[in-house]
Structures are given as C-alpha cells and as structure tokens.
Structure 1
Amino acid sequence: MECAMRYPTLACSLAATLGGALAMPAPAAAWGAIGHRITGAIADENLSGVARAQVRLLLGEEDLAEAATWPDDMKSDPSEFWQKQASPWHYVTVREGHAYKPSDAPPEGDALTALPRFAATLRDPKASVEDKRLALRFIVHIIGDLHQPLHAGGGNDRGGNDVKVTWFGKETNLHSVWDSGMIEQRSLSYSEYAHWLSRKITPQQVVSWNVRDPLVWTAESIALRKTIYPANPSISWDYAYQHRAELDDRLERAGIRIAAYLNWIFDQEGSAPRPAGK
C-alpha cells in the first residue's frame, strides 16, 4: 500500500519481486552528474524523429541530459525502494575469467537484468505514463553506467571503490577518478564537453557503434577495466593523459547507444506513450 502511494506501478512490481533480497553494497554513481549529462546530450542529438517525439510526450521539456541523472538524484530518497531495491541496477559484476550469464545475476538483479524490464515497459501500450517515465530515465542512466569500465566490476574491489589513490594529491579512490575526477579535470560544462565530443563523432562511428546488445557494451568495459589500474597509487597528469581518449570514447559510445536503444524501442509498433499529464 505504501509502495503504491509513493512509487509508480513498475517500481512497485520490481520492488515486490526483489523485495526479499538483500542489496549488495553499491559503487559510487557512474560518471557523476556531468558524465551522465554528456551521454544524455549526445543521445539527444542522435534520436530518430519518432523517438524524439516519444521522449517529448513522456518528459515534456525535460531532455535526456536532465533525465540521465535522475536515478542517482533519487538515491537521496530514504525509502527502501531507492536505498535497497533500485541500488544494484547501476552496475554488473563479471568475475575474472568468466563471461556474464543472466543466471549469474544476484537475486536483487543488476543493470543487465533491469534494462530489458524497463525496455519492455516502454514498449507496453498498457503501461502507465508514470511507469514509462521511470523506465525511460532508468534506461538512459543504465546505459551510461554500463559504459563506465568500473561499473562492470570483477567482484573483488567494489568496482574500484576499495582501490585507494591520490588524485592530484587528494585522497580518493579509482572509481571516483573515473566517475568524475578525469571529467572535472577538463574544466568544461557538460554542454561544452558534449559539444566537443559530438563534433568529433564521424558517421562511420555512429554506424559501427549502433549496437543494442548490452553484453557487447559490458565486454568493452571489462576489457578497458583490466588496463586502468595504476601501478602507482599517486596519479595526476600522466594518468589523465594516458586514459583521456579512452574516457572520451566511452562517453561517446554511451551517448550513441542510448539513442540507438531508444530509437529501437520507440520505432516498434505499439510503443507510443500517452502524452505527458494524460
């Protein structure tokens, strides 16, 4: 009853399904606000006409850059749904030497099990507007998360949160460096950063990155993850220079794939949402 009063139907359904499970300790939010907004802004520029109209029907004036941070913003909500049930949907664990299998997902789920559930909601003509809004915002966010290499963790250091480093002399952890440290070090707004990246993306890259399979995105993140642990925990300019192109590549790919995934969902017959507020 409390869930029905406070959360959309989809959230209640997921909470009921997963409510008996204990949530695993969650890593810090992938990319941070600036990184997620960059991926949302790039996605906005690559939506099809149909998908753009569908997003506008659901979110009104809210663009994908704004929607991208919503699941992290809601982590401040003290309710059990946001503190436990939804927390594991931001990352996936793939242990060293193993390929991900759906049966490996923990009982509470993960990013790779949550994503198709939200996609199904957006394609369900009977789903409520509230459910579709929640699903859309989570899809944008989860795809961004899966492109952060430490959100495809190996299960031994909480996605780099336990790897202590100093970043330009400040004590932090490797996860935080990839979430926000290297992005903020560029001293750009999210719109400036997104513009810089967008103008460098070629048509050939848009075509080659137009992959809707989350397992492909995750495999790329795992391959990169294996190369980013520093030998010396004191990192600054050299580390940023070494990994800058890789960081930008992950942000670019995430933006293109958010758009590709939404284009695929909304171009399916019968996926149209009702107008916002209806």
Structure 2
Amino acid sequence: MRKQVLSVALIAISAALVSWGYKGHRAVATIAQKHLTANTAYAVSAYLKGESMADVSTWADEHRNPTTGKWHFLNLPLGLNHQQFVDFVNQQSNDNVYGAILKEEAIIKDKASTPDQINSALKYLIHLVGDAHQPMHISRAEDKGGNTIQVRFDNAGTNLHSLWDSKLIDHEGLSEEQIAKQYDWANEAQIKKWQDSSPMEWLWESYQISSELYADVKPGQQIDEAYYKKYIQTIHLRIDQAGIRLAGELNRLLKDVKGGVAPVSSLKNAASSGNKKIDVTQDSVAPLIELKDVKDFLQKDVAVSGKVYSVKDIGSMVLVNFGAAYPNQLLTVVLKGDAKQLASQITDKTITVMGKVIDFKGKPEIVVTDKKSISIEK
C-alpha cells in the first residue's frame, strides 16, 4: 500500500513539472525537423537510432532524476532588468535549463563524444529548448513556477503552470498535425533573427512574459475566453521560436558531421514499422558521400546530395538525373511506389537520397520506393 501511495505521489509530482505538455513538445520537435538541413537531418536520425525528434521530445520528462529534474527550469526574482537578469543567471550553478542546454550542446559538438552520449544529449536538447521557451519555466521559486497558483479554466481546477503547459493548447482543439502546421508561420527574416539569438536571450524573453503573466492573474481566478484569445498567439510564437531555434542550433552543431550519418535501413522500414522504435546499429548507418564519388560505392547503402537536372516519367517509374542532364548524369535515381509522388516537387531542386547504389548499364543508380528516403532542400 505504501509503495502504491509513493508511486501515485511521484506520478503527481512528475505531471506537475511537465513542460509544454505532450502536444507542445512534439510540435517544437516537428517544426525543428522541417528546418534542418539534409545533412543535419540524417545526422540527427542516425544518432537517435531511427527515432523521430517528435518521438523523443518528451524523453527528458520521462527520465528525470534528482539531478536532471533541475534542468527543466530557472528560478529568479521578479523585477530584474536585462543586465541584472544576465548577471543573476551567470551567477547560478549549472543545474538549471540554461546550464543544461550549454552542457548538452558541448557534448554534441565534442568530437570525442560517443554516439550514445550524443544520443542522450540530443534527447535532452530537443526537450530543453522547448522548456526554455515556456514562460512559466523561467519564473519564481516560491510558487514553483506557478504550480501553486490555483485557477479555474474550462470548468475545472488547474494552476497557472499547467494552464501554460497544455490547457490553453488543448482548448484550441487542434490535432498534433494541425498544431505543427499552423504554428510554423515564420518568414525567412524572422527565422534568421530568431536563430541569431542566444539561449540567454530565449530565457530573457520567457522571463519578460512570465512577469506579465504573474501580474495578470489572481489565485482562484476564473480564466475566461478573453484570456485565452489574448495569450494563445503568445503560445504560437514561443513554440515556433523554440522549433526554429532548435533547428538552428542543430544545424550549427552538426554541420561538420561527415560520414556515418544516414540510417538508411531505419527509414526504409519506417512505413512498415508504424510508430515502433527502430533500432539502428552502427553497421546499418550509411555514409553521406559526395556525388562525384557515388560510382565508388556500388552495392553499398549511402546518402548522397545533388541537384536534379531532369525528371522523366516513363509510367512504371520516374527517372531522376543528378549532377548533369541525361546522358551525362553522375547518378540516376529511380522513383517507384510512393516515391513517385515526389516527381513534380524536385525538378531543379537539391535533394538528398538514401539507398543502395547499383550498376545499370555502366551508370550508378539508386532505386527508391519510399519517399521518406528523399529529403528536399528548401
């Protein structure tokens, strides 16, 4: 009985500390995934052993311990100006969301880190960047980030922290797919501006918002539709910024990764595996190679990027010429099955293809039947 009570208590504590909720964290990860370069996307997929960024986005909440539990938030007093805020954060220990983000980024960038270390660091970073953008995670210690400020919303009791984790998002009534699509609205100028900012500035933004939220609520308050309409756009902004900035950090950290970055087997089997986790061993991770070298990789799984010069639909398949127009192409990619759907999207685009290189009449060729094996550069 005592064990049962303890388990229930631990579950309750864990639930109270969750940030952005399930939908919010998956939206951050899904938006980030869309803004990765091809090379980074394959590096991330390889290090995550075939799991998607969305699938691991809540892993850090599910694997908390007394040390890592402190990594999800930052406690500060109200009323700090920007310089006071920066000084306060820099004077703290590293056991907070700011220190944890810097720590995990250092592990990812360190060439001496093992694949398992990078796997763990990626899972934390994907989650913690989301945490940094949830305003109530950069807030006061005395009310546990709003967890002890009780309010009512949608005819039920809740608290200020949970309201911002998930209740406002749930009230919107969108599916995960709709959230990821509708929240991802930034233009190129905004993306550049957001990605040029530092983790310290992300936290400062959250601190400014949480300061406003504290001033805009009273314990026991009935949260009405006007409050929802006022702040749901702030949630859209923070989740989009988190996704865009996460992508920017990963693109920067993994831009120099060469070779051993594309888990070809995992992507080929993704459709038949559904939502199951796919284990990718070191042997099944294919190198990202130069297009000019593709002829040297016959009968090997590779990832290769190049410009599409021409596309020809011959009915049962679509022929895609890489590197030059036919008959001088460096590689022919043959699209079959659902991969044929991409034919109209890739002309004159740079794409990355994963698959086994074969010889067809003296020319290297890759046959693709799964559209997930192709990434189109923006």
- In structure 1, the partner of 2:55 is 66
CA shift in 2, pair 1:271/1:237, >3 Å? farther
Measure the CA separation in 1 of the matches of 2:194 and 2:141: 27
1:261 to 249, 253, 268: 249
> Residue 123 of structure 1 contacts residue 268 of structure 1 at CA under 8 Å; is this kept in 2?
no
> Residue 134 of structure 2 contacts residue 206 of structure 2 at CA under 8 Å; is this kept in 1?
yes
TM-score w.r.t. the length of structure 2 is: 0.61
- In structure 2, the partner of 1:90 is 72
- In structure 2, the partner of 1:277 is 281
Note the residue ranges of structure 2 that are not aligned, 5 or more in a row.
Answer: 1-12, 264-279, 283-378
- In structure 1, the partner of 2:225 is 237
Offset at residue 272 of structure 1 (A): 7.4
Offset at residue 126 of structure 1 (A): 2.1
TM-score w.r.t. the length of structure 1 is: 0.81
1:177 aligns with 2:166: no
SS in 2 for 1:166: strand
> Residue 148 of structure 1 contacts residue 250 of structure 1 at CA under 8 Å; is this kept in 2?
yes
1:136 aligns with 2:122: yes
Measure the CA separation in 1 of the matches of 2:183 and 2:155: 28
Q: Would you tell me which structure has more helix in proportion to its own residues?
A: 1
CA shift in 2, pair 1:168/1:274, >3 Å? closer
1:249 aligns with 2:237: yes
Measure the CA separation in 2 of the matches of 1:189 and 1:258: 22
Measure the CA separation in 2 of the matches of 1:221 and 1:31: 13
1:159 aligns with 2:145: yes
CA shift in 2, pair 1:226/1:203, >3 Å? same
> Residue 129 of structure 1 contacts residue 273 of structure 1 at CA under 8 Å; is this kept in 2?
no
Offset at residue 61 of structure 1 (A): 2.9
CA shift in 2, pair 1:165/1:44, >3 Å? same
For 1:75-128, what per-residue CA distance to the aligned partner results, in whole angstroms no more than 9, with x for missing partners?
xxxxxxx3301100111122222414455324x711111111111111122222
- Write out the 4+ residue segments of structure 1 that deviate beyond 4 Å after TM superposition: 268-276
- In structure 2, the partner of 1:149 is 135
Note the residue ranges of structure 1 that are not aligned, 5 or more in a row.
Answer: 1-24, 75-81
Offset at residue 169 of structure 1 (A): 2.2
Q: Would you tell me which structure has more strand in proportion to its own residues?
A: 2
- In structure 2, the partner of 1:78 is none
Work out the percentage of aligned pairs sharing the same amino acid: 26
> Residue 45 of structure 2 contacts residue 262 of structure 2 at CA under 8 Å; is this kept in 1?
no
Offset at residue 277 of structure 1 (A): 2.3
Offset at residue 273 of structure 1 (A): 6.8
CA shift in 2, pair 1:29/1:55, >3 Å? same
> Residue 26 of structure 2 contacts residue 55 of structure 2 at CA under 8 Å; is this kept in 1?
yes
SS in 2 for 1:188: coil
CA shift in 2, pair 1:175/1:44, >3 Å? same
Measure the CA separation in 2 of the matches of 1:61 and 1:136: 13
Measure the CA separation in 2 of the matches of 1:129 and 1:85: 22
1:47 aligns with 2:36: yes
AA at the equivalent of 2:239: L
2:92 to 81, 105, 109: 105
AA at the equivalent of 1:92: L
> Residue 39 of structure 1 contacts residue 251 of structure 1 at CA under 8 Å; is this kept in 2?
yes
**Number of corresponding residues:** 245
> Residue 58 of structure 1 contacts residue 274 of structure 1 at CA under 8 Å; is this kept in 2?
no
- In structure 2, the partner of 1:214 is 199
